[in-house]
Every structure is written in structure tokens, then in C-alpha cells.
């Protein structure tokens, strides 16, 4: 299934995409998409609903974040060998973990706002892994049993905040609008191999990232298991798994986003995003 949330910010409704690409309303069956409603048993129940029996959503509604109530937005740094090389870093012996504030989450086509004082706002297309049930001390072999599905994620980053000011990476990753997710939560049965998905990103129509999840250092199974050794993962938590090469920081000379730019990105079978870049007020 391709599940989504649509409507104005803060008042989104749950829906699904039928075989013809039409949005169907799910609000008679679930209140929202997140938490207990993305448990495997609940997803199985939703999968048994005939999409043709659901109301058609007319017009062109805003698409919201594909998951509601995310408690943890966990990101993995330098998880693509070719991206680590372009930044001059070495592949870490264990995954680099940092948090992106959940307040950064926005819809896939909402504006990205350059924060005050920013000169180095950067782009990163990433595979998002959405947790479907509580995971604690899970094995790598069983890890995917705890995954509800996958989504396209944009890990927008302010590099000066991230690397040139003392402290951790979080403050360069958590500015408002720095976490577009969606358009859909694609259930894992429709993604047989999360380690073989093409991914891309353009800035003003120029393709700058053109990669694949094949070059991940630490794959989805490993990451879910690894993280669960340190913290419980809960339904609705998102793991953003790293980015392929082509980020602005790695260009020579470096190139960063400015007001007026348009960013488009997507992952094979997981949908596309489009954001207008604006200066924050």
C-alpha cells in the first residue's frame, strides 16, 4: 500500500493511493496514520479494504508528512561510502547516530526555509525507514519484522551550524522545515529489497545526486537491529539512513541553497518531493 496524509498542516486526514494513482480517504477506518495504526496487524486490516469502497479525494490537496506523531527522527551520518569520500571523511567503524528534531518535519512539497544567519544550507536525499512496532534488542535477522514501510526523506542540513560551531550535529539538522518526509509511506511488502533503490535530487533542474541504496555501508536490517540495542524504537519513529554523493558541501567550490531555488528529489517506488526554498522570517 501507498499510504499518505493530506490536508492543511495540523489537520491532515489519512488516505491511500489506489492503483490508478487516485487518493482515497481512509478516515472512516483510522483517525490518522501513525502509532498503533501502522502496527503490522493494523496494516494487514487496511490492506483488506477494497480501495474502490473508499471516498475519492477531489481537487489537489496539500500532501502532509506521511507519518503522524513521530517521537524520534534518528539520522545516520556518512552511511554511503562514496558520500564519505566526497566529504573527505572515512567510513566509520560503527554507524554515526544523530537526532533531527521532530519539529523539523514537514510535508514533501512544503517550503524549505533557510534559517537566520545561514550561509550553508545543503540538501540530502535519504531513504526513510518507518518503525511499525516496538523494537528493543532485536536481531538483524528479525529486524524487518519491526518495519512498517519506507518513505522518501530530505535531510536538509546547515553545514556551518553542523560542523563549524562547537557541539553536536543536531543543531545543524533540526531547523524548522529541515525534515520533509513523504509523499507516501510505502508498506514493506511493496519494497522487496530496500538495498536496491535508485535515488536522485535536482536543484533548479540540475541533477546533483544520482545514487542508489546499494552503496549503503550499513543496511536497513543492520541499522534497525543496531539502534535497538541502545534505545527502544517505537511505532512512527523514523530512521533516515544517509545520503549518496552530490551534496553541496562536497562540490568544488561548495554550493549551497539560496532563496528562490527549487529542490526536487525522489526514490524509486517511494515517490517524489518538490520544495521552494525561501528565507525564514
Average pLDDT over residues 56-78: 96
Q: How confident is the model at residue 90 (pLDDT cuts 50, 70, 90)?
A: confident
Tell me the pLDDT band of 88, cut-offs 50, 70 and 90.
confident
Q: What is the pLDDT of residues 133-155, one digit of tens each?
A: 999 999 999 999 999 999 999 99
45-70 mean pLDDT: 97
How far is 12 from 119, CA to CA, in rounded Å? 33
Mean pLDDT, rounded, of the chain:
95
pLDDT in tens, 188-216: 999 999 999 999 999 999 999 999 999 99
Domain boundaries, the chain: 2-53, 73-279
Class of domain 73-279 as given by CATH: alpha beta
Residue 87 has pLDDT above 80, yes or no: no
Amino acid at each position: 500500500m501507498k499510504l499518505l496524509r493530506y490536508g492543511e498542516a495540523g489537520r491532515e486526514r489519512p488516505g491511500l493511493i489506489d492503483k490508478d494513482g487516485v487518493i482515497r480517504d481512509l478516515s472512516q477506518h483510522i483517525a490518522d496514520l501513525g502509532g498503533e495504526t501502522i502496527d503490522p496487524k493494523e496494516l494487514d486490516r487496511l490492506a483488506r479494504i477494497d480501495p474502490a469502497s473508499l471516498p475519492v479525494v477531489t481537487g489537489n490537496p496539500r500532501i502532509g508528512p506521511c507519518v503522524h506523531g513521530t517521537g524520534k527522527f534518528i539520522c545516520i551520518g556518512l552511511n554511503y561510502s562514496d558520500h564519505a569520500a566526497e566529504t573527505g571523511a572515512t567510513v566509520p567503524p560503527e554507524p554515526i547516530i544523530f537526532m533531527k528534531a521532530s519539529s523539523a518535519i514537514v510535508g514533501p512539497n512544503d517550503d524549505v526555509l533557510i534559517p537566520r544567519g545561514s550561509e550553508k544550507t545543503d540538501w540530502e536525499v535519504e531513504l526513510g525507514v518507518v518503525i511499525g512496532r516496538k523494537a528493543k534488542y532485536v536481531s538483524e535477522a528479525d529486524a524487518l519484522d519491526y518495519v512498517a514501510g519506507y518513505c522518501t526523506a530530505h535531510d536538509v542540513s546547515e553545514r556551518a551550524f553542523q560542523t563549524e560551531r562547537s557541539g553536536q550535529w543536531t543543531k545543524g539538522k533540526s531547523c524548522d522545515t529541515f525534515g520533509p518526509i513523504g509523499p507516501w509511506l510505502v508498506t514493506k511488502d511493496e519494497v522487496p529489497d530496500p538495498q536496491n533503490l535508485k535515488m536522485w535530487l535536482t536543484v533548479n533542474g540540475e541533477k546533483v545526486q544520482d545514487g542508489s541504496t546499494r552503496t549503503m555501508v550499513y543496511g536497513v536490517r543492520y541499522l534497525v537491529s543496531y539502534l535497538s540495542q541502545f534505545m527502544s524504537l517505537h511505532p512512527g519513529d523514523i530512521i533516515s539512513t544517509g545520503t549518496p554523493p552530490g551534496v553541496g558541501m562536497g562540490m568544488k567550490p561548495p554550493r549551497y541553497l539560496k532563496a528562490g531555488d527549487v529542490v526536487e528529489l525522489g526514490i524509486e517506488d517511494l515517490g517524489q518531493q518538490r520544495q521552494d526554498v525561501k528565507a525564514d522570517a
